Structure 1
Amino acid sequence: MMFDYLFSPIKLGQVEVKNRISFQPHLTNFAEHCMPSERHMYYWGERAKGGAGLIITEEMSVHPTDTAYEKLVEAFHPEVIPGFRKITDYVHQFDTKMFCQLNHNGQQCDGSISRLPVWAPSPMPDVLFRETPKEMEPEDIEEVCRYFAKSAVHVREGGFDGVELQFGHSSLARQFLSPLTNFRADEFGGSLENRMRAPLMFIEAVRKAVGKDFTVGIRLCADEMIPGGLDLGQIQEIGGKFEESGLIDFMDLSIATFYNLYLVEGSMHTPLGYTIPLAAGMREKINLPVFCTGRINDPVMAEKVLANGQSDMIGMCRALICDPFLPKKAQEGRLEDIRYCVGDNQGCIGRMGINRSLGCIQNPAVGLEKEWGEGTLKPASVKKKVMVVGGGPAGLWAAKMAGRRGHQVDLFDRNENLGGQVLTAMKGAGRDEFGVIIRNEKDQVDKAGVKVHLQNELTPEQILKDNPDVVVVATGSQPKGHPVGGADGPGVFNVWQVLDAKPELGEKVCLIDYDGHHRATATAERLADMGKTVHIITSSLFIGAELGPTQDLYLTRQRLLQKGVTFTPDIAVMEVGGEAGSKEIKGFNVYSNQWDTWGPFDSVVLAMGQQVDADLYFALKGKVKELYRIGDCVAPRKVDMAIWEGHKTGRSI
């Protein structure tokens, strides 16, 4: 396919960008002592090497009161300049332009980090941070202007090609603009003109500091998506006024706020390209270049958006975290080699939500580009005969990486298709996109020279007879056979049986959830979609307790409740009793210790944990030259650890 629009150049202010792909701002937690780090340099450099035309950094803090997270780079310190310079010099060698995003998070800050009051337009706590801010006095607003200007000078001296001011979902500027968060009665509140006053002051201060020949843009929330907030029509008017000021060169768009964070960072339950209509609406009213971002993970979709005139630039974030070389592969016509992001959010947004460093379930090299990035894989000095047993994510990655190093690799799986538990997980409601993880790797295994043997369950004797140099056991895990009394009786099934075999369950089904993640909730939703009356019982505080960091909690609970699913939290299930068609659940409240009985149910479905399938490993232990155990057969976990261990093992053999 030809990408006439996607790979055409564009002028953003004084800067010409070689193509229309922008690697969008997002947190990384790579900062060291609030300074830019070497990890930043290699991380952004990998995306430049991969062909992105523009890279916009994660938000940089402009003021001591802006401490939304512990590891934000503090751009107001002049000490950032040498680190900035190293990063921009490294990125520029790949003919990629780089902008720095500056921000003050306002009410969306955490005073426990800074030990300072949180500053905001009005003393209204943020829905997520819940800290009452200080209402900014006029001199505070003027101080933030000075700090924006100071930070912008550091950005220019650090070698960046431009600066983007965050006026979007998480920003002091948006809080001034929005009637949801601005209740002031002075010249900074009330009318639209007054609410725009402080944001315009921020822009004016930056423009004056960096001069007319430096590119300055804003990231604007295109719709707060909540009653009483700013909608597209109002943002079109605001955007028009910003454009009329003559102070900015482009308009990057975001969506929603912390009231509805699941829309800011949409998971696979959010449609691909879900923000395109908003970008198109802004493009109709704005002559400046407009960016569109939001689950555009495919160059074909990106080309259509540009060809339709709905946007001038395509913002890709998770797509380029997952595959930094997506642009280069698309330009070279190698679409089948692209590792497509599935919007699962576990490795990226999920890790940010619990204050870990950035990751990706499908790309173990994220944050480790210096050691594991493109070009770091070396041919094996000694070519070995490698047998990988198990064709799930761990086995696939181990085989692929070992094959790429030049080993003779055979991959065996007992099933008809490669994929392991992913093939079951993708059958949960709304989880079909999860299967792309396996589709992404199948061709890569073949291209690595791996011989695949399906429907082949090897015995220890067969392996020993074949005398391999290396055996990698990736045989996965199985649902626990008897996790609670009566759980092996009639009318009791596990999640796998429900998703794979679709047994006769009857009308009323109880799902016991000790998982708190998609294994339980997506199965419950699938049952509801089948017309079942579903009751979920969990020992956790609430249903879906593990889904918060991935932004799936809100919509998952919404869908389950809309489909009539009943929730009972705080219950430790101790026994499953009764006969098929009349099952009872016995347990006690984990806080009151009060016992109770639930039922009758036609059947019971268990999401009560997995157990390792490691018999082959222990049968081979001490009998082969080099033996590895990876993935769920070490300990049942999520897909990110299976892929991590497969990657690490495959490149170390």
Structure 2
Amino acid sequence: MMFRYLFSPLKLGRVELRNRISFQPHLTNFAVDTLPSERHVHYWGERAKGGAGLIITEEMSVHPTDRAYEKLIEAFQPEVLPGFRKITDHVHAFGTRIFAQLNHNGQQCDGSLSRLPVFAPSPVPDPLFREIPKEMEPEDIEEVARYFAKSAVHVREGGFDGIEIQFGHSSLARQFLSPLSNQRQDAFGGSVENRMRAPLLFIAAVRKAVGDDFTVGIRLCADEMIPWGGLNLADVQDLAARFEASGLIDFMDLSVGTFYNLYLVEGSMHTPLGYTVPLAAGIRSKVKLPVFCTGRINDPVMAEKVLANGQADVIGMCRALICDPFLPKKAQEARLADIRYCIGDNQNCIGRIGMNKPLACIQNPAVGLEKKWGEGTSKPAPVKKKVMIVGAGPGGMWAAKMAGRRGHQVDLYEKNDQLGGQVLIAMKGSGRDEFGVLIRNEKDQVEKAGVNVHLGVEVTPDLVEREQPDVVICATGSVPARNPPIAGAKGPAIYDVWQVLLGKAELGQKVCLIDTDGHHRATATAEFIASQGKSVHILCSSLFVGAELGPTQDLYLTRQRLLQKGCTFTPDTVVIEIAGEAGAKVLKAINVYSNAMSELGPFDSIVLAIQQEVEDRLYKALKGKTKELYRIGDCVAPRKVDMAIWEGHKVGREI
């Protein structure tokens, strides 16, 4: 496919981009002592090497009161300059432009980190952080503007090509613009002109500091999406036209939502692809400046259509380029089948950042480790070996791909008739079909690596003895607990998640799902059952159903769908016994706080969404009998897919 629009140049102010793909700002938690680190250099450099036309850095703090997160870069500190220059020199070496995003988080800051009062337009606490801010005095606003200017000088001196000022979902500027967070009665509140006053001061300070020949833009929240107030698209169309008329900016990047609805800011696979395109089109219809569109655009074909339809001028890709930094280059070279498409699972990007861990990706183990594991770092094996890999789930496929690329003779065995392992089951859960892209992404890569794939073959110790491999990697996964730790949990009308999703469970109308997982394995199965018109009662010991889904931004929509489908939730409850006959199952349970005993039921059927156990019988049979023996993924301990891929990647690189 020819990408006429996606790979056409575009000028933003004085800067010309080689294409319309922007790697969008997002936290990395790579900063060290509030300064840029070597990890930043290679992380952003990898995306430049991969062909992005523009990189916009993560938000950089402009003021001591702005500490929403522990590991932010403080752009107002002069000590940032050496790190800035290393980053920009490295990125520029690949022909990519790089802008720095400057921000003050306002009410979304954390005084426990800064040990300073939180600044905001009004003393309205953020719904997530819940800290009551100090209402900024006029001199506070002027001071923040001066710090924006100070930071902007460091950005220009550090070799960046431009600045993006954050007026989007997480920003003091948006809080001034929104009547929901700005309840002031002075010159900085009330009318649109007054609410724009502080944001315009910030822009003007930056513009004066860097001059008219330096590119400056804003990231604007296109719609706060709050039913009880705040800014809607019509409001922001008016604001956009006013900001354009100021003559101070060169482009508008867009976001959506706020901390009231983070599931919109960081849409998961339960959010449609390209869900922000109509908003971008709405803003673009009112301004002449270039407009960016971002939000689950993970495919160059979709990106091309958005540009061709005139709905935006630049396509912002964030998770898509975290997952595959070389998506732009592959698209330009017509290698679409080689792209590793992001699935919006959010476990290792947004999920890790929210827990103050370094950024990662379930499908890209090299994230944050580009210097060690990035493109071109895998070397041919010094000794070519015969490698037998047992189990073709994600871990086995990654091990096979990496070992094959290094020149080993690799045979990948799978007892079922297709590649994929447990992913083939997980993707049957409601709303989880996109999870199957994990397998589509890797299937061709396994073949291109020269791997011999054997489907429908169950590997036994005798087969290993006959084949005489140099290396055996057991990626045999895990299975539902054979002896569930609940009295009476085996017998008629009691099923595990696999049986339900594979259509092997004869469920009655009234179903109870016992959840000790707290993740999609439980909730997606419950929704799968409820979608069949059955009554579903979910029991869990956690404070609430779906407790593990908060960091991935899946909690709100998951619970919404379950409740809309009539599911009943009973948290804080541990089931200690299942009694009764099929069609009349009764649960004996205990409340984890009051210790009160109760009985629930009767239920027609019981579904157990509880722990898995390792399938390591082959590994144990081979231990001490082969030259080299490894096990990876759930065969070591049942975990999530990220660890299977991580371990498969690692062993494939190292054998």
TM-score bin (small chain): over 0.9
Aligned to 1:219: 219
Aligned to 2:500: 498
Aligned to 2:281: 280
Deviations 1:394-422 (A, max 9, x none): 10000000000000000001001110000
- The answer to which of 580-589 and 96-105 deviates more is 580-589
SS at structure 2 position matched to 1:509: strand
Aligned to 1:136: 136
Tell me, yes or no, if structure 1 residue 601 matches structure 2 residue 603.
yes
Aligned to 1:634: 636
Aligned to 1:583: 585
SS at structure 2 position matched to 1:581: coil
1:251 alignment partner AA? M
Instruction: Give matches, 1:159-558, under 5 Å.
Output: 159-227=159-227, 228-483=229-484, 484-558=486-560
Task: Give, in whole Å, the separation in 2 of the partners of 1:190 and 1:592.
Answer: 50
How far is 1:481 from its partner? 1.8
2:592 alignment partner AA? V
Task: Give, in whole Å, the separation in 1 of the partners of 2:651 and 2:180.
Answer: 51
Deviations 1:474-524 (A, max 9, x none): 000000122111111110000000001342101000000000000000000
SS at structure 2 position matched to 1:107: helix
SS at structure 2 position matched to 1:100: strand
1:335 alignment partner AA? L
1:136 alignment partner AA? M
Deviations 1:225-284 (A, max 9, x none): 002110000000001000000000000000000000000000000000000000000010
Task: Give, in whole Å, the separation in 2 of the partners of 1:604 and 1:375.
Answer: 51
Task: Give, in whole Å, the separation in 2 of the partners of 1:18 and 1:466.
Answer: 52
How far is 1:591 from its partner? 0.5
Instruction: Give matches, 1:115-126, under 5 Å.
Output: 115-126=115-126
How far is 1:182 from its partner? 0.3
Task: Give, in whole Å, the separation in 2 of the partners of 1:597 and 1:648.
Answer: 48
SS at structure 2 position matched to 1:269: coil
Task: Give, in whole Å, the separation in 2 of the partners of 1:181 and 1:511.
Answer: 41
- The answer to which of 474-483 and 63-72 deviates more is 474-483
SS at structure 2 position matched to 1:102: strand
How far is 1:7 from its partner? 0.1
Deviations 1:97-141 (A, max 9, x none): 000000000000000001100000001110000000000000000
Deviations 1:580-623 (A, max 9, x none): 11111111001111111111111000001100000000100011
SS at structure 2 position matched to 1:285: coil
Task: Give, in whole Å, the separation in 2 of the partners of 1:183 and 1:503.
Answer: 56
Task: Give, in whole Å, the separation in 2 of the partners of 1:443 and 1:608.
Answer: 33
1:652 alignment partner AA? E
How far is 1:462 from its partner? 1.2
2:524 alignment partner AA? A
Deviations 1:454-479 (A, max 9, x none): 01001112102211100000000000
Task: Give, in whole Å, the separation in 2 of the partners of 1:184 and 1:45.
Answer: 43
Gaps of 5+ in 1: none
Aligned to 1:69: 69
Task: Give, in whole Å, the separation in 1 of the partners of 2:49 and 2:224.
Answer: 35
Tell me, yes or no, if structure 1 residue 100 matches structure 2 residue 100.
yes
Tell me, yes or no, if structure 1 residue 109 matches structure 2 residue 124.
no
Task: Give, in whole Å, the separation in 2 of the partners of 1:129 and 1:574.
Answer: 37
Deviations 1:187-242 (A, max 9, x none): 00000100000000000000000000000000000000002110000000001000
How far is 1:377 from its partner? 0.4
How far is 1:334 from its partner? 0.2
Aligned to 1:623: 625
How far is 1:424 from its partner? 0.2
Deviations 1:327-350 (A, max 9, x none): 000000000000000000001000
Deviations 1:56-105 (A, max 9, x none): 00000000000000000000001101100000000001000000000000
Task: Give, in whole Å, the separation in 2 of the partners of 1:253 and 1:608.
Answer: 41
Task: Give, in whole Å, the separation in 1 of the partners of 2:16 and 2:268.
Answer: 32
SS at structure 2 position matched to 1:355: coil
Task: Give, in whole Å, the separation in 2 of the partners of 1:531 and 1:502.
Answer: 17
State the TM-score, normalized to the length of structure 2.
0.99
Task: Give, in whole Å, the separation in 2 of the partners of 1:578 and 1:489.
Answer: 10
SS at structure 1 position matched to 2:76: coil
SS at structure 2 position matched to 1:196: helix
State, as a whole percentage, how many aligned pairs show the same letter.
78
Q: CA RMSD in A?
A: 0.5
* Runs of 4+ deviating beyond 4 Å: none
Aligned to 1:51: 51
Task: Give, in whole Å, the separation in 2 of the partners of 1:37 and 1:336.
Answer: 34
SS at structure 2 position matched to 1:79: helix
- The answer to which of 314-323 and 455-464 deviates more is 455-464
Task: Give, in whole Å, the separation in 2 of the partners of 1:585 and 1:313.
Answer: 56
Task: Give, in whole Å, the separation in 2 of the partners of 1:646 and 1:477.
Answer: 15
Task: Give, in whole Å, the separation in 1 of the partners of 2:270 and 2:503.
Answer: 24
Task: Give, in whole Å, the separation in 2 of the partners of 1:606 and 1:49.
Answer: 47
Deviations 1:309-367 (A, max 9, x none): 00000000000000000000000000000000000000100001111000000000000
SS at structure 1 position matched to 2:502: helix
Task: Give, in whole Å, the separation in 1 of the partners of 2:654 and 2:575.
Answer: 44
SS at structure 2 position matched to 1:262: helix
Task: Give, in whole Å, the separation in 2 of the partners of 1:500 and 1:411.
Answer: 24
State the TM-score, normalized to the length of structure 1.
1.00
- The answer to which of 407-416 and 482-491 deviates more is 482-491
Task: Give, in whole Å, the separation in 1 of the partners of 2:236 and 2:463.
Answer: 67
SS at structure 1 position matched to 2:73: coil
Task: Give, in whole Å, the separation in 2 of the partners of 1:329 and 1:466.
Answer: 38
SS at structure 2 position matched to 1:546: helix
